[in-house]
Structure 1
């Protein structure tokens, strides 16, 4: 079974942990986002989180990130964002985390929430749902 590092960047907190490819949560943690410090501080925090998780789970096969903003999921980059995270627009999460030599995927946080509800939540089996 493969493990994936998962990071959800919220307005007030970053929730993160490791989930296996069967969907089982191995463990989770939380830290303040401190979004007003800007994109450079946030990406440094993402590198710190990734190092922490890899120390505990060195067999991780990739990094999955959910974040606010308009996300180019093909490139794992932020196309547009509000001023909630200064400088977030244009950030390439794949480039920022390249030092770990793992695949990095990113998606909009609301899309991720909808997908999670469809796969294992209240929208399971629904033909349509609003998130």
Structure 2
């Protein structure tokens, strides 16, 4: 193992998670501290710097061994300059995060979108290890994504590449409005929020389903009911899987990745969900484009963000 280390930072609205990684992608230790959004952007930035130094101080390494610090953050970013144009959860507006941290830490700092960073984590040290071309889906409250081609994050012109949840895949007659304001987005049917919405709609229509007896329906309840033979729940899962598989077929003919990696809470449904996604993917994807392509679960879980943030430095 190299004696060089990298620090990865995953900024959340409540907690800042910091990870210390080897140059090979091994997560050596983690630390979590409060974000303190209510104290303003300067305090949040100072907390990041403090936690980065603290995790190294508490390790067997010296600050001089740190190659750099990578940061993942949700929001609209000027990625090359490390400026957070707007982050609603953190109340950041035009915050020069890269400049601030480089001055405080005297190390190279790189900043990127949190979904891109999580994708890089899986590609570098998770389910995509050894694969140069992969696309990551995160199925949670929404549907996030990240694209890794040639081992590098695809950011796009304005840093908005990889917004997989906002691919318009649902036909107009079935489409509902997504949180982004557009109609028929993948997120509206394949996220936990979308699955819960479809379940509640079924209950309100009076469909015969065991979900009628669940007081507060969660996505897991829908999957459990489907696995137990509930036909209504099974249809909801099939619909979510259908549009996921169809979206992957579209991505495949554009990017031809070797591996699709699916993470987030919904992915914990396991092979019951994955088998259906693969079936749809194979149905809609040309044979030569699907050859050798795998659809697999993510393996890093909540650590993907800090590992990927550290990977920004290594993959730079």
TM-score of Structure 1 vs Structure 2, range by shorter chain: 0.7 to 0.9
Shift of 1:60: 0.7
Shift of 1:17: 2.4
* Equivalent residue, structure 2, for 1:118: 123
* Equivalent residue, structure 1, for 2:112: 107
* Equivalent residue, structure 2, for 1:27: 29
Structure 2 Cα separation of the partners of residues 122 and 61 of structure 1: 25
Secondary structure of 2:116 counterpart: helix
* Equivalent residue, structure 1, for 2:98: 94
Q: 1:11 to 1:3 in 2, by over 3 A?
A: same
Extract unaligned runs of 5+ from structure 2. Answer: 139-316
1:37–1:85 Cα contact (<8 Å) kept: no
- More strand per residue: 1
Give the one of 47, 50, 62 matched to 1:48.
50
TM-score (norm 1): 0.84
* Equivalent residue, structure 2, for 1:78: 84
- Residues 2-26 of structure 1, C-alpha deviations (whole Å, 9 max, x = no match): 2111111012211102111100112
Extract unaligned runs of 5+ from structure 1. Answer: none
Shift of 1:76: 1.4
Q: How many residues in Structure 1 have an aligned counterpart in Structure 2?
A: 129
Q: How does 1:53-68 map to 2 (within 5 A)?
A: 53-55=55-57, 56=59, 57-58=62-63, 59-68=65-74
Query: Runs in 1 of length 4+ with deviation above 4 angstroms?
Result: 122-127
Secondary structure of 1:4 counterpart: strand
Structure 2 Cα separation of the partners of residues 95 and 76 of structure 1: 7
Structure 2 Cα separation of the partners of residues 16 and 4 of structure 1: 11
* Equivalent residue, structure 1, for 2:137: 130
TM-score (norm 2): 0.38
- Taking only aligned residues, the RMSD between alpha carbons, in angstroms, comes to 2.1
Structure 2 Cα separation of the partners of residues 5 and 91 of structure 1: 21
Secondary structure of 1:28 counterpart: strand
Structure 1 Cα separation of the partners of residues 118 and 127 of structure 2: 11
